[in-house]
Amino acid sequence: MANPFQFGRAVEGDQFTDREEPLRLVTTCMREGQNAILVSPRRYGKTSLLKTAVRSINDSGGHAAMVDLMLCADRRAVADEVRKALLPLSRGWLANRVAQWRELVASRIPHLAITLEHGGYETTFRPVARDYDWGDAIASTISLMAKLGTRDAPVALVIDEFQKIASIDS
């Protein structure tokens, strides 16, 4: 008989069990715009819990994204991960506000290029000077998404492996 328990990777669906109370606490914080930090030893299912919470928020009409910093070596990589996670959340808001959205992006993230496509849009960072502060791009992207959120439906950003920040650009 095969081992019914999964380990070594995040689990989803039927494999995610017996975590109703932690899931409720995390999703409540996300819906209410509250910061939260999950702390536990490795391999206790933090990533599985967070992925399930993000999916739950999005499935119920909310706006949530998840960023994993494990493979980020510098601030530009962090900025790119935040961009890839958060900006797709603006698609619904964007429907009839393309000009307003472009102006908002241009004023907050001047190095972000937006290409409109038939099915939506694509974003990339333009080349910048070596000494560009990518911390500004990260903060601006998060600020932009917070502006797109509302009191009733805030935008939630989950950062997995956030302790990696301490070793980035040090």
The answer to whether residue 121 is domain-embedded is yes
- How many domains, in total, are found in the chain? 1
The answer to whether residue 7 is domain-embedded is no
The answer to whether residue 85 is domain-embedded is yes
pLDDT digits (tens, 9 = 90+) for 67-85: 999 999 998 899 889 988 8
Model pLDDT, residue 149: 76
Rounded CA-CA distance 4/1 in Å is 9
User: How much of the chain, in percent, has pLDDT values that exceed 70?
Assistant: 82
Average pLDDT over residues 10-38: 82
Residues 144, 104: contact at Cβ < 8 Å?
A: yes
Identify the residue whose tokens are 């099915």: 119
pLDDT of residue 169 exceeding 80, the answer is no
The answer to whether residue 25 is domain-embedded is yes
pLDDT digits (tens, 9 = 90+) for 110-145: 777 777 776 677 788 888 777 888 888 888 888 877
* Alpha-carbon separation of residue 144 from 28, 71, 91, 147 (angstroms): 22, 24, 13, 5
The answer to whether residue 3 is domain-embedded is no
Mind giving me the DSSP string for 30-45?
A: HHTT--------TTSS
Model pLDDT, residue 124: 82
Helix-helix angle 98-108:134-148, to 10 degrees:
150
Among 1-5, 74-78, 103-107, 149-153, which is the least confidently predicted range?
1-5
Model pLDDT, residue 96: 58
Structure tokens at 37: 């930090």
The answer to whether residue 150 is domain-embedded is yes
Helix-helix angle 134-148:75-86, to 10 degrees:
20
The answer to whether residue 170 is domain-embedded is no
Model pLDDT, residue 68: 92
Structure tokens at 112: 């972000």
Model pLDDT, residue 93: 62
Top pLDDT among 2 and 103 is at 103
Model pLDDT, residue 95: 59
Structure tokens at 2: 């095969």
* CATH assignment at residue 135: 3.40.50
Which range of residues forms the domain containing residue 42?
A: 13-165
Residues 104, 147: contact at Cβ < 8 Å?
A: yes
Top pLDDT among 116 and 36 is at 36
This prediction has a pTM of: 0.74
